[in-house]
Amino acid sequence: MITAILRNLPSRCQLCHQRLNDVLGPWCEVCRNSFPDSARCKQCGLKLVTDLSQCGECLNRPPDWDQLYCAADYDFPIDDLLHKFKYRGQFWLANPLSTLLADKVASPAPLLLPVPMHWLRRCRRGYNQSAVLTHYLAIKLDTNWRHDVLKRVRATPAQRGLKRSQRLSNLSSAFAVNTNIALPSHVALVDDVVTTGSTVNTLSRLLKQYGVKRVDVYCLCRTAKNRDL
Ligand SMILES: [Zn+2]
Ligand SMILES: [Zn+2]
């Protein structure tokens, strides 16, 4: 395992291919400092011209979560790194990617919960990428995480390409909360990418039904598409 991880560590920047002195990160300092940073709506995370606590859409129809923190849009270079992490088994990327996200979170929730994956999909992929991210994120934010609070009780087909009504009925009753575990009043859901927000919204609503007062969302990337809760 250790040998495999060491063998996978890049000796060159994954973006500009310069030789790296610091082998712990996949990019050089110049590339790291050129990652795009945008003003956002603090609640839904979508890009704005200036930082706002709520955009017009959130004022009209707020999501069930309270604040969303993301490292970047789903765009170069993060999209490329995320693809390698998710689909090519380069799970060591979770460490540097989680650093990008940890830098954005000022007051971490006392408990982080990864968005659960159905066991069948986890078996196929070998790991739940959200749980791997949550593990590193919890270390960096000096907080706790648990993988056994939220459960995906029904496999849901991929959400992409479905109509809003189909997506919502697909999601309702797909998740369950483990009621044997006492939850703090503030938790954060962790996912790699938030697109329409319907999965994290369903989970936020569910957690609030179980008495959680504040649910934040920590995600690596927020896609710039219109939301569709
Ligand atoms: Zn570079
Ligand atoms: Zn908003």
Q: pLDDT band at 157, cuts 50/70/90?
A: low
Ligand with the closest atom to the CA of 65: 2
CB atoms within 10 A of CB 161: 8
The interaxial angle of helices 78-87 and 94-102, nearest 10 deg, is 140
Phi first, then psi, for residue 100 (nearest 5°) are -60, -40
Q: How far is the CA of 164 from the centre of ligand 2 (A)?
A: 19
Q: CA-CA distance, 8 to 155, in Å (whole number)?
A: 32
3 state DSSP class of 29 = helix
Quick count: other Cβ atoms within 10 Å of Cβ 121?
Answer: 13
Confidence category of residue 4, pLDDT binned at 50, 70, 90 = very low
Which one of the ligands is nearest to 19 CA?
1
pLDDT, tens only, 59-115: 999 999 999 999 988 888 888 888 888 888 888 888 889 988 999 998 999 999 999
In the structure, ligand 1 is a single-atom ion and the residues with CB under 5 Å from it are: 13, 15-16, 28, 31
Amino acid at 196: T
Separation of alpha carbons 149 and 4, rounded Å:
31
pTM of the model: 0.86
- Cα(27) to centroid of ligand 2, in Å? 31
CA distance 11 to 8: 9
Give the number of whichever ligand sits closest to the CA of residue 51.
2
Residue with tokens 């069930």, as numbered in its chain: 64
Q: Where are the domains of the chain?
A: 35-222
Q: Give the span between the Cα atoms of 133 and 155, in whole angstroms.
A: 21
Tell whether domain 35-222 is in CATH 3.40.50.
yes
